[in-house]
């Protein structure tokens, strides 16, 4: 899937949502800066990024809750948003699930689900609500009230209510942020199964990469109002196109090095095989100074002759432990090791690279990425 292009391409039946060069802001502050991506019919997409990156604003623009200053937003080839021309939210055929559920406390669960079905008679509203409650696993809860349900159950009701009008696109704004980690994982798997079973096209926003990886088919990583990369979870992890993406996806760091004539990189951890990544990498034959992406799983405990450092911090995770190791230069790297043998904070250790070809970025670009 590529970035959005012409309007004719956006009208292709396979492309259900097209966001083209969208700019949005408040006064002189630009929240979205040329946002472009496409979402195919039946696909689950996700905008992923840190707080304040613009992902929720993007969702609100798609929903029609915010105008666009430049660019346009289309669904199934029809323009919904353009400068000075915005189709109102209720005419967009979209459903939205909010992070705070937004259920009506004085209405039963079935009445909440049926709330937006004013075009149907009472029996049809009740029938559709009960059917969707069955889909989300709450078939026995039609007559209870929201306060009688757990947080996870309330989120299922919110999902059923958003699906009730049979939307062309489902939008989800940090849908699991109020739930604990275990419940987020369970509901995420259930959400993906439901959307795929119903063939619903959906776009969610989250700051949680594990949540994004578990649910979405396509993910866009955002930072400071820009979409840095749009692709499958595997492509983001294995082929990051930008230093920020490289650091944000997975647990890793950028290690400085220099590239030799033989194509190997000389680093504090020794000589490493790698390739240049990011836009224009194929034209960067003269690049010498680089920063190499090292994920925690790319390192192992070393032996005599390997780089020595000391353990700065550790996080026990049961089956494994994530260590932060300070190298002689002061640079900190992360190492993931089995949990059967814990090492102590302050302990002197040797570390070595245990990976195939790694991705490196020209140093000038890598330096734009945030430091740990």
Same domain as 127, residue 12: yes
Reported pTM: 0.87
* CA–CA–CA angle 115, 204, 143 (5° rounding): 30
**CATH number for position 311:** 2.40.50.140
pLDDT at 364: 63
- Measured from the Cβ of residue 59, the count of other Cβ atoms closer than 10 Å reads 20
In a domain, 119, yes or no: yes
| Beta carbons of 159 and 165 less than 8 angstroms apart | no
Segment 57-76 mean pLDDT:
96
pLDDT at 301 over 70: yes
Q: What is the pLDDT of residues 170-179, one digit of tens each?
A: 999 998 888 8
Dihedral, CA of residue 8, residue 10, residue 16 and residue 19, to nearest 10 = -150
In a domain, 42, yes or no: yes
Question: Where a domain ends, among 197, 221, 238?
Answer: 238
**CATH number for position 87:** 3.40.50.300
Segment 44-73 mean pLDDT:
96
Sheet of 274-276: strand order equals 270-272, 265-267, 252-259, 289-295, 358-362, 274-276
In a domain, 371, yes or no: no
Same domain as 232, residue 266: no
In a domain, 54, yes or no: yes
Segment 249-263 mean pLDDT:
87
Question: pLDDT class for 365, splitting at 50, 70, 90?
Answer: low
pLDDT at 105: 94
Same domain as 95, residue 39: yes
Q: What is the pLDDT of residues 80-117, one digit of tens each?
A: 999 999 999 999 999 999 888 889 999 999 999 999 88
How far apart CA 38 and CA 98 sit, in angstroms, is: 22
Same domain as 295, residue 151: no
In a domain, 1, yes or no: no
Same domain as 342, residue 290: yes
How far apart CA 351 and CA 269 sit, in angstroms, is: 8
Question: Where a domain ends, among 180, 211, 238?
Answer: 238
Residue 123's domain comprises 7-238
How many structural domains are present in the chain?
2
Using the CB atoms, write b or e for 258-280: b if 16+ within 10 Å: ebeeeeebebebeebebebbbee
| Beta carbons of 324 and 314 less than 8 angstroms apart | yes
Segment 253-281 mean pLDDT:
84
Same domain as 156, residue 305: no
pLDDT at 281: 56
In a domain, 26, yes or no: yes
Question: pLDDT class for 15, splitting at 50, 70, 90?
Answer: confident
In a domain, 204, yes or no: yes
Segment 30-59 mean pLDDT:
96
Tokens standing for residue 230: 């749009």
pLDDT at 62: 97
Same domain as 176, residue 38: yes
Same domain as 184, residue 40: yes
Same domain as 202, residue 56: yes
Q: What is the pLDDT of residues 310-360, one digit of tens each?
A: 999 999 988 899 999 999 999 999 999 998 888 999 999 999 999 877 899
* CA–CA–CA angle 307, 308, 314 (5° rounding): 115
Place of tokens 């049809």: 124
Phi then psi dihedrals of residue 241, to 5 deg: -95, 0
pLDDT at 371 over 50: no
Q: What is the pLDDT of residues 171-212, one digit of tens each?
A: 999 988 888 888 888 889 999 999 999 999 999 999 999 999
Same domain as 154, residue 27: yes
Same domain as 161, residue 120: yes
Please choose, from the candidates 154, 148, 213, the residue with its C-alpha nearest in 3D space to the C-alpha of residue 183.
154
Dihedral, CA of residue 228, residue 220, residue 210 and residue 252, to nearest 10 = -20
Question: Where a domain ends, among 203, 238, 273?
Answer: 238
Using DSSP, state whether 285 is helix, strand or coil.
Answer: coil
Q: What is the mean pLDDT of the chain?
A: 88
Same domain as 206, residue 183: yes
Helix, strand, coil content of the chain in percent (nearest 5)? 25, 35, 40
In a domain, 127, yes or no: yes
pLDDT at 286 over 90: no
């Amino acid at each position: 899937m590529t970035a959005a292009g012409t309007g004719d391409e956006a009208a292709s039946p396979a492309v259900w949502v097209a966001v083209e060069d969208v700019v949005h802001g408040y006064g002189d502050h630009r929240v979205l800066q040329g946002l472009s991506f496409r979402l195919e019919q039946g696909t689950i997409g996700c905008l992923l990024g840190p707080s304040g990156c613009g992902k929720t604003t993007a969702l609100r623009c798609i929903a029609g809750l915010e105008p666009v200053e430049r660019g346009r937003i289309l669904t199934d080839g029809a323009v919904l948003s353009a400068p000075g021309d915005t189709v109102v939210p209720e005419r967009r055929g979209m459903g939205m699930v909010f992070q705070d559920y937004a259920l009506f406390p004085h209405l039963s669960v079935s009445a909440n689900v049926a709330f937006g079905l004013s075009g149907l008679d009472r029996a049809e509203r009740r029938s559709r609500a009960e059917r969707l409650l069955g889909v989300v696993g709450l078939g026995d809860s039609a007559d209870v009230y929201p306060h009688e349900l757990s947080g996870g159950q309330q989120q299922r009701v919110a999902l059923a209510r958003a699906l009730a009008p049979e939307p062309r696109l489902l939008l989800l704004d940090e849908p699991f942020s109020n739930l604990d980690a275990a419940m987020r994982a369970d509901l995420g798997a259930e959400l993906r199964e439901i959307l795929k079973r119903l063939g619903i096209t959906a776009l969610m926003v989250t700051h949680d990469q594990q949540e994004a990886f578990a649910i979405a088919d396509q993910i866009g990583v955002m930072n400071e109002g820009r979409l840095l990369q749009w692709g499958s979870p595997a492509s983001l992890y294995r082929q990051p196109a930008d230093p920020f993406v490289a650091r944000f996806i997975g647990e890793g760091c950028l290690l400085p090095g220099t590239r030799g004539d033989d194509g190997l990189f000389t680093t504090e951890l020794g000589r490493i095989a790698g390739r240049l990544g990011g836009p224009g990498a194929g034209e960067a034959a003269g690049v010498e100074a680089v920063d190499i992406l090292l994920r925690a799983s790319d390192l192992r405990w070393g032996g005599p002759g390997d780089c020595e450092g000391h353990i700065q911090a550790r996080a026990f995770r049961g089956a494994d432990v994530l260590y932060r190791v300070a190298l002689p230069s002061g640079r900190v790297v992360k190492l993931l090791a089995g949990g059967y043998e814990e090492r102590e904070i302050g302990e002197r250790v040797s570390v070595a690279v245990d990976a195939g070809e790694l991705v490196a970025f020209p140093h000038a670009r890598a330096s734009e990425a945030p430091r740990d």
